[in-house]
Amino acid sequence: MISLVGTMKILLIYSKYPDTFWSFKYALKFISKKASFPPLGLLTVAAMLPDEWEKRLVDMNVSGLTDEDLRWADYAFISAMIVQKKSVQEVIRKCNEFNVKVVAGGPLFTTGHEEFEGVDHFVLNEAENTLPVFLEDLKQGRARKIYTSKDWPDIKKTPSPQWTLIDKKKYASMSIQYSRGCPYNCEFCDIIVLNGHRPRAKSKTQILAELKAIYDLGWRGGVFFVDDNFIGNKKTLKEDTLPALIEWMTAKKYPFYFLTETSINLSDDDELIKMMVKAGFRRVFIGIETPNEDSLTECNKYLNKNRDLLASVKKIQSLGLEVQGGFIVGFDSDTPSIFEKQIKFIQNSGIVTAMVGLLNAPRGTRLYKRLKKEGRLLGGISGDNTDFSLNFIPKMNHETLINGYKKILNTIYSPKHYYKRVRIFLKQYKPKKFDKKTYFKFCYLSAFLKSIWLLGIQGKERFHYWKLILWTLVRRPYFIGISISFAIYGFHFRKIAGI
């Protein structure tokens, strides 16, 4: 830790998310929460700053940025993703108005800092490499405009997030990071641009220490492992990390349940799935992308090719992990038949939370470079996975693509199809016995009562809502909490899709 002379007042600002698929804005109201997750990156950066500095966090998703906050601060540290760009621009403007120096980093700035004015210092790429250099230069009075690094840091040296800066009651789940990077090379993905190909993992000692910090905070509930691909290094995971997690969770009597992101080849390893379930994992997000083999070849998603994707999903769910799926339309190889194929796959798979988006090309990806070379690139992306914007000229007729995309959303999130998909999932989902006992713990009574009024009485879906509740009570009574949660999620998804 660099010791700077005197103290500074640092305001860490996390900009507001718009209403999107993953914001869960309309679902969070049922459980009186403000945001899904705390800003893990900024909390980690806070822990890397000198101890003697005063620090405040303003997460604009749970509280407003006030004039008093800005008058207090010497520096504003801003981190954000692309979807927060509009809010970020307003935050920078306000900081400039109050003469607060702005330090900006994170994915949004790392891939597009040239687009922003009013920032005093850009600390880009991974903070473990660039932040210490910036702090040393600041100490010497010679801080530069831009700090970058082409190296991938050893995250075994990354400190635990400074959890004391948040009010945990405002969040639906906590977050933790085990690894960065992904061994695969999908054409449209910017993970390898930001975090590289080679997965880098923290030690089991670090992970257990971070979990203990969340436990000591008094948190009980969901913890999201925000990894790019949690199973990027299966060997270390199975031999070291998961056994330690299982032992810790067992000793603590399972105070948390985990969710994360993995690739579809998780289905090839029964032992790994069972270990994850035993460690407390309940949900995994997987990029399915498309049932069209030609499109998988086009985007270099070879991991998904030459396999029965439907069987892979059902296997994972039958062994105790709920699969959330990411799907894309708009590949050059897509024909108008893709829309019905996507609907059929999603319905048959029992993937309740199916995020379907139009293909877009993030800056720095191989897709971005290819489309630019072909003269088809139109500009930047919104970062919203489910809006109707494209940043390139598609091969398919634009109107056909947009209308087909809308048809997918209007179908899979219509009450008839959505609630049917919930029942399909519950029929094939087979968690361990200890999981069945704990779902009541996470089913908020107030959320249930609100769902009865808004969905079961006022809602257009009331017939499907009561059909699901009664079916669950008769056929899968220990899943009633899940059924209520899914009903609430469906309400959010329909709001976002405009159904």
pLDDT digits 0-9 by tens, 341-373 = 999 999 999 999 999 999 999 999 999 999 999
Residue range 318-322: average pLDDT? 97
pLDDT in tens, 213-253: 999 999 999 999 999 999 999 999 999 999 999 999 999 99
Instruction: State the pLDDT at residue 385.
Output: 79
Q: How many CA atoms lie within 13 A of 220 on its CB side?
A: 10
**Which residue, 497, 490, 495, is CA-closest to 356?**
497
Q: Which residues contact 235 (CB under 8 A, 6 or more apart)?
A: none
What pLDDT is recorded for position 3?
A: 39
Contact 98, 84 (CB under 8 A): no
The CA radius of gyration of the chain, in Å to the nearest whole number, is 23
Structure confidence at residue 384 (pLDDT): 83
pLDDT, mean of residues 94-98:
98
Q: How confident is the model over 176-215, as pLDDT tens digits? A: 999 999 999 999 999 999 999 899 999 999 999 999 999 9
Q: Write down the pLDDT at residue 435.
A: 54
- In whole angstroms, give the CA distance from residue 100 to residue 331: 44
Task: Find the mean pLDDT for residues 111-140.
Answer: 96
Q: Where are the domains of the chain?
A: 9-147, 173-412, 437-497
Token match 């948040």: residue?
A: 166
- State the alpha helices, DSSP H only, in 292-414: 293-298, 309-318, 338-349, 366-373, 398-412
Give the pLDDT band of residue 81 (cuts 50, 70, 90): very high
Instruction: Determine the pLDDT at residue 438.
Output: 46
Show the tokens assigned to 11: 């305001």
| 50: its two tokens | 């000198």
What proportion of the chain, given as a percentage, has pLDDT over 90? 92
Any residues with CB less than 8 A from the CB of 121 and at least 6 apart, and which? Answer: 101, 102, 103, 104, 134, 143, 144, 145, 146, 147
Task: Please name the residue that has the structure tokens 């407390």.
Answer: 280
Whole-Å CA distances, 252 to 264, 270, 281, 400: 30, 25, 15, 54
CA distance 95 to 71: 9
Closest alpha carbon to 485 in 453, 431, 457, 447: 447
Q: What is the pLDDT of residue 87?
A: 97
Model confidence pLDDT, tens digit, residues 9-49: 999 999 999 999 999 999 999 999 999 999 999 999 999 99
Give yes or no for residue 5 having a pLDDT over 70: no
* pLDDT given at position 395: 97
pLDDT at 4 over 60: no
Q: What is the CATH number of domain 9-147?
A: 3.40.50.280
Mind listing the pLDDT tens digit for each residue in 269-293? 999 999 999 999 999 999 999 999 9
Query: pLDDT tens digits, residue range 130-161?
Result: 999 999 999 999 999 999 999 999 999 999 99
As a whole number of angstroms, the distance between CA 103 and CA 143 comes to 11
pLDDT at 431: 86
The helices-and-strands tally (H runs, E runs) of the chain is: 21, 14
Distance, in Å, from the CA atom of 460 to the CA atom of 87, rounded to the nearest integer, reads 34
Predicted confidence at residue 442, as pLDDT, reads 47
Tell me the pLDDT band of 379, cut-offs 50, 70 and 90: confident
Q: Which pLDDT score, from 0 to 100, does residue 6 have?
A: 61
3-state helix, strand and coil shares in percent for the chain, rounded to the nearest 5:
50, 15, 35
- Model pTM above 0.85: yes
Q: Rounded mean pLDDT of 315-333?
A: 98
Average pLDDT over residues 435-443: 46
User: Sorting pLDDT into bands at 50, 70 and 90, what band is 433?
Assistant: low
- Report residue 386's pLDDT band, with 50, 70 and 90 as the boundaries: confident
Q: Which CATH code, of 3.10.129.10, 3.40.50.10800, 3.30.200.20, 3.20.20.70, is assigned to 173-412? A: 3.20.20.70
